[in-house]
Amino acid sequence: MLAYIIRRVAQSILVLLITGFVAFSMFSFVGDPIENMLGQERTQADVDRLRGQLGLDQPFVVQYGKFLQQAAQGNFGLSYRQGREVSAILAERLPATLELAFVSGLLALGGGIGFGILTAIRKRGFSSNAIMTLSLVGVSLPTFLIGILLIFLFSVELGWLPSFGRGEVVDLGWWTTGFLTVSGLKALVLPAITLGLYQMTLIMRLVRTEMLEVLRMDYIRFARARGLRERSINFRHALRNTLVPVITITGLQLGSIIAFAIITETVFQWPGVGLLFINAVQFVDIPVMAAYLMMISVMFVGINLIVDLLYFAIDPRLRVDGKSGGH
């Protein structure tokens, strides 16, 4: 187990280093931030002075090395646009993104597993066919189009929910939350559905496929032959073995919720780190862009690492393979 953990942690660190290098390399070609920071009446002396202050006159390898050294300490430098610490800006925006991802993740997990079980148990029922048909919407339509349709229906036509923003929030000092206000909760509904719908349909279809396969197993037939109740067979025996292979895909989907929140935040003008990244790209704010991608990479790799460890702990076949491989 220890050797497996060390190997997975080492792989995760390597992925982060590669991601940081690729991201930092890409930013060298998105434009020159000096052009946006200085006015039309700038002189070449002003350009050279500011470039030296920002360290942009140094070789790429030196810039990347300093970036990694500072990033390891949680320091991503100053924003070219706002002139503030990037870490402070991310700390202000991160609660909005995490709350949106949390609610979307609950929707994706709860709805995906619940509807997946229902459509597997009653695979020929009217409700199952209706759910499977509606799930095609979540799989087929792009996220931004789903968001626009929800805004048109529930904000423009019905006027039930706000179309943009986070609503009223409560400042707890180290955290700002919209969970404690009515307007904050209402503002969260449409973005959460938009962000979680695609993940929910994928999880639902995966759970349905795996559970249908498990229900065909011999030990399920033996359980029915022994006279066990159908509820016990479905939820005690079939569901437990269904969720083992689902864990890995579910972890990837939860990581995708955080990574792809950028689209939903743009559509709903949600004041999170995704919208911050879009604004940073327009202004060529390299420190903010690099910090965002590194933060998302850390979250994604961290979630995948936790999922891998859970999968190793739950599935005894991996432990057996690991021991035989060690011998």
Q: Which residue has the higher pLDDT, 95 or 283?
A: 95
pLDDT value of position 192: 92
Q: For the residues of 291-320, what is the DSSP string, one character each?
A: HHHHHHHHHHHHHHHHHHHHHHHH-HHHHH
Q: What is the DSSP letter of 172?
A: -
Q: Which residue has the higher pLDDT, 294 or 47?
A: 294
Query: In angstroms, how far is the first alpha carbon of the chain from the final one?
Result: 14
The domain segmentation of the chain, as residue ranges, is 17-72, 89-272
Helix (H) or strand (E) holding 242: helix 239-259
**Owner of token pair 């060298």:** 28
Stated pTM of the model: 0.78
pLDDT range class, residue 230, cuts 50, 70, 90: confident
* Residues 288 and 86 sit within 8 Å (Cβ to Cβ): yes
Does the structure show a pLDDT above 90 at 91? Answer: no
The values of phi and psi at residue 165, to 5°, are: 85, 175
Written as one letter, the residue type at 100 is L
Range 228-244 average pLDDT = 75
Q: In whole angstroms, what is the distance from residue 312 CA to residue 1 CA?
A: 8
Q: In whole angstroms, what is the distance from residue 94 CA to residue 299 CA?
A: 12
Q: Domain 89-272's class?
A: mainly alpha
Residue 16 Cα to chain centre, angstroms: 16
Q: Which residue has the higher pLDDT, 179 or 232?
A: 179
Q: Which residue has the higher pLDDT, 25 or 158?
A: 158
Does the structure show a pLDDT above 70 at 327? Answer: no
Q: Which residue has the higher pLDDT, 300 or 313?
A: 300
- Beta-carbon contacts of 242 under 8 Å, excluding residues fewer than 6 positions away, are 207, 210, 211, 214
Does the structure show a pLDDT above 80 at 138? Answer: no
pLDDT value of position 40: 67
Task: Tell me the chain's radius of gyration from C-alpha atoms.
Answer: 24
